[in-house]
Amino acid sequence: MASIHLNDVSVDFVLYQGSARSLKKTLLRSSTSGTLKHDAHHRITVKALSGISLKLEHGDRVGLIGGNGAGKTTLLRVLAGVYEPTGGRIRVDGRITPLFDLGLGLDVDASGYDNIRMRAAYFGIDSDEIERKMEDIAAFTELGDYLDLPVRTYSAGMTLRLAFAAATAVDPEILLMDEWIAVSDMQFLEKAQRRAESFVQRSSIMVVASHVEDVLKRLCNKALWLDHGTVMRFGAVDDVLAEYHSQQAGGLTPW
Ligand SMILES: Nc1ncnc2c1ncn2[C@@H]1O[C@H](COP(=O)(O)OP(=O)(O)OP(=O)(O)O)[C@@H](O)[C@H]1O
């Protein structure tokens, strides 16, 4: 069974080091999101996440909410293993599929087909299984003969089609998304959303950051509200959204 445990997790980014005092002062004055401060080496750091403790189990579909700079993307990247926490501990059991930064990990010198095979191999899927699925995946991309060519010959839209198809070829255990699928290619958008929706159904744990309430209510059973990198509330999606909106009405947090 997939699970995620975070214990007192923090992430600090070093924003600036050096001696230009006016820039430092400007940065410190203009802080609207993560908490800016000086560290022991006189560097300016931003605390993007602070003291996050959380347990997610099978069946949890969690929407991350919070204003700009609240820490949603940083948390997703910590869960994906892109960022190491600078404090605390994280334990993730289960195969993680991030549906963001999709182009990362594509080998531009390899063909579309080989990229799909490499992605599957990375996830430990045996080659017979992926060859059985290949026809479907190829049809989904609508890239035709381009799948035999190196990815560096693809347009941005074609690369996205390939990356999305490759990422969703293998059933997820833990699915991470930064905003619900939004692509500029309208014809592909509808297909991609349908595929992503069934992908969500098949996942054991799903975490999505979104500003769109409709998406949160449709996909999630829980919500985690972040503010300045800390957890304000974690619970049933309707309860957390209601509380979030009542705070917002009080003018405390921008949506
Ligand atoms: N690579 C980075 N280097 C420095 N600071 C960063 C970096 N990534 C994020 N931050 C800072 O960390 C804080 C949290 O950012 P994050 O992107 O996680 O917020 P968010 O909730 O996803 O915001 P949004 O809804 O605007 O996308 C912000 O103050 C941001 O400026």
Q: What is the pLDDT of residues 88-126, one digit of tens each?
A: 999 999 988 888 877 777 899 999 999 999 888 877 778
Which of helix, strand or coil describes residue 41?
coil
Q: How far is residue 177's CA from residue 164's CA, in Å, rounded to a whole number?
A: 12
Q: Is 46 in the pocket of ligand 1 (CB under 6 A)?
A: yes
Q: Whose CA is nearest to atom 3 of ligand 1?
A: 13
Q: How far is residue 76's CA from residue 67's CA, in Å, rounded to a whole number?
A: 15
> Which residues, at least 6 apart from 42, have a Cβ–Cβ distance to it below 8 Å?
17
Give, to the nearest 10 degrees, the angle between helix 127-141 and helix 156-167: 140
Q: How far is residue 214's CA from residue 157's CA, in Å, rounded to a whole number?
A: 26
- pLDDT tens digits, residue range 160-208? 889 888 888 878 899 998 887 766 677 788 888 888 888 888 899 999 9
pLDDT of residue 255: 45
Instruction: Kindly list the structural domains of the chain, giving each domain's residue range(s) and its CATH number in brackets, ordered by start.
Output: 3-94+209-249 (3.40.50.300), 112-203 (no CATH)
Please determine, for residue 235, whether its predicted confidence score (pLDDT) is greater than 70: yes
How close is the Cα of 80 to the center of ligand 1, in Å? 16
Please determine, for residue 24, whether its predicted confidence score (pLDDT) is greater than 80: no
One-letter identity of residue 7? N
ipTM over 0.90: yes
Q: Is 208 in the pocket of ligand 1 (CB under 6 A)?
A: no
**Percent of the residues in the chain that have a pLDDT greater than 70, as a whole number:** 87
- pLDDT tens digits, residue range 142-166? 999 999 999 999 998 899 889 888 8
pLDDT of residue 254: 46
Give the global pTM: 0.84
Q: Is residue 142 exposed (0-12), middle (13-18) or buried (19+ Cβ within 10 Å)?
A: middle
How close is the Cα of 206 to the center of ligand 1, in Å? 21
Q: Is 130 in the pocket of ligand 1 (CB under 6 A)?
A: no
> Which residues, at least 6 apart from 219, have a Cβ–Cβ distance to it below 8 Å?
61, 63, 180, 200, 206, 208
Which of helix, strand or coil describes residue 114?
helix
Please determine, for residue 251, whether its predicted confidence score (pLDDT) is greater than 80: no
| Mean pLDDT over the full length of the chain | 86
